[in-house]
Amino acid sequence: MDPLDESENGNGDDSLNPPIDDLTPAREAQDWDPETVSDWSQIPDDPNFTAEEDQTTKYALHPDDRIWRHPSELQYLAPDAESVRRSKKARGLIGLSLTSAVIGAAVASLLVVSLLRPAPQIVERVVEREITTANISNTDLGLQRSMGVADIAAQVTPSVVRVEVLRNGRVSGTGSGVIFRDDGYLITNAHVVSYETDFRVVLASGNTFRASLVGLDRRTDIAVLRPDQKMSNRFSPATLGSTDNLRAGEIAIAIGSPLSLRGGPTVTVGVISATNRRLQSPQGDWLYELVQTDAPISPGSSGGALVDRSGAVVGITTVIAVTDVGAEGLGFATPIEIARDVAADIIQWGRARHGRLGISGLDATVNLLPPSHAAGVYVQSVDPQGPSAQGGLQIGDVVVELNGRPVPDMGALVVSARMLEPGSSASLRIWRDGQLMTLEIDVAELD
């Protein structure tokens, strides 16, 4: 597996000055023969030439037959006074007629619309809670799907911030963050904040505020920051989407604050390269179900937003792929569903509460699956003291569903298990000895 790197590197600008070509001196006037040369672009300036001379006999072509004009020929282009007067009068009459027609059409249109259009309805935004959380996008809205990249960037940029880590009053590191509540709570990466206590948040507008750490979770590389003081203004929370229907090839927009650049977030565009990726972070933790994109992501963009074509945030950018030869042009983002659930746990409990089933396994091969399912997880080991063992799960079983939803692979099972509420009950649909059966499991908490 290729190593991953999140180092903060600067960049410089190089510029090149194009060489200046030598100028070729013009031919002398006496070397030019008007009787033999018909190329008007080669006519030299002749101080002895006057406008009163008969140019049609001196030169091979009449000026009206050519695009190029010599300065001495402008007399042919100047209109006489009578022509100018007639032209102005004609233009005035035409302009008056067109203006009258336009005004008449506009008045008629307003009358028709006022008669046919129903009375306008005023729609108010209803705030059901004191704190407005991020909206959940409806990806089926055709209007949202037709938005251009510039419109999406304008919509999302106010929700993306630069996070500056302060140590002894000085900036020791930077990253990005996404505001998801209108009271200023924001999601970023755990490796950006790294258990520090003093942070400065820079909004897209350039305004700043101090923030403190609410909590972090290294298993998902998610952390939450909040303003140190209650802010008089309300923030603009991002619209959070879903990765369920993401497909490789769809447009992806990465918005973050790379390289500590001033002037607001940076917007880059690419596609969704793949989904359900499994990678080991630079900090050593395994990250599951990552969204892969080729939208350029630079150091400092960690914690920023990966946005779909509807303008909804579908991931929190986490790592970039780097090999011995440098960046590989691939970035990875934590699915927004995971980030949202972890952030909610951190705010409520001060930590992320992950569910635990107590099993490990491999993606099941086709010959191990029941005819009714196309994917599942072959159980390799079961913790004897864990909840799955107590619920009756055995080595060799194939897990095909969790709480009624298909299990496509081991990574998906790990993520789904972590998102279970500790203390709740979960159902496992398994394939054993040619039979499908359901086991009830009491979910434990992952330490």
Q: How confident is the model at residue 413 (pLDDT cuts 50, 70, 90)?
A: very high
pLDDT tens for 168-199 read: 889 999 999 999 999 999 999 999 998 888 99
**Cβ neighbourhood burial of 446 (10 Å; 0-12, 13-18, 19+):** middle
Of the candidates 216, 189, 218, the one whose C-alpha atom is nearest the C-alpha of residue 317 is 189
Q: Is 345 a catalytic residue?
A: no
pLDDT tens for 373-404 read: 999 999 999 999 999 999 999 999 999 999 99
pLDDT of residue 63: 46
pLDDT of residue 330: 84
Alpha carbon distance 353, 445 (integer Å): 7
Q: Is 302 a catalytic residue?
A: yes
Q: Is 191 a catalytic residue?
A: yes
pLDDT above 70 covers a percentage of the chain that reads 64
- Half-sphere exposure at residue 343, Cβ-oriented, CA atoms within 13 angstroms: 27
pLDDT of residue 323: 53
CATH 2.40.30.10 matches 355-445: no
Catalytic member of 221, 294, 308, 345: 221
pLDDT exceeds 60 at position 424: yes
pLDDT of residue 195: 80
**Pair 386, 356: CB distance under 8 Å:** yes
Q: Which CATH number fits domain 131-349: 3.40.50.880, 2.40.10.120, 2.60.120.620, 1.10.10.10?
A: 2.40.10.120
pLDDT of residue 118: 46
pLDDT tens for 311-331 read: 999 999 988 765 554 445 788
pLDDT of residue 347: 96
pLDDT exceeds 70 at position 156: yes
Q: Look up residue 83 and give its two tokens.
A: 């022509």
Catalytic member of 191, 345, 354, 416: 191
pLDDT of residue 231: 78
pLDDT exceeds 70 at position 443: yes
Alpha carbon distance 217, 189 (integer Å): 9
Could you tell me the residue ranges of all domains in the chain?
A: 29-76, 131-349, 355-445
**Which of 75-89, 137-151, 202-216, 375-389 is predicted least confidently?**
75-89
Q: Which position has the higher pLDDT, 29 or 208?
A: 208
Average pLDDT, the chain: 75
Q: How confident is the model at residue 296 (pLDDT cuts 50, 70, 90)?
A: confident
**Pair 429, 414: CB distance under 8 Å:** no
Q: How confident is the model at residue 301 (pLDDT cuts 50, 70, 90)?
A: confident
pLDDT of residue 257: 84
pLDDT of residue 196: 85
pLDDT of residue 227: 95
pLDDT tens for 346-364 read: 999 999 999 999 999 999 9
Catalytic member of 176, 302, 310, 388: 302
CB contact set of 251 (below 8 Å; sequence gap of 6+): 149, 269, 270, 271, 272, 308, 309
**Pair 299, 6: CB distance under 8 Å:** yes
Q: Look up residue 435 and give its two tokens.
A: 């039979």
pLDDT tens for 231-264 read: 777 899 999 999 988 999 999 999 998 766 676 7
Q: How large is the average pLDDT for residues 96-111? A: 47
Q: Which position has the higher pLDDT, 239 or 284?
A: 239
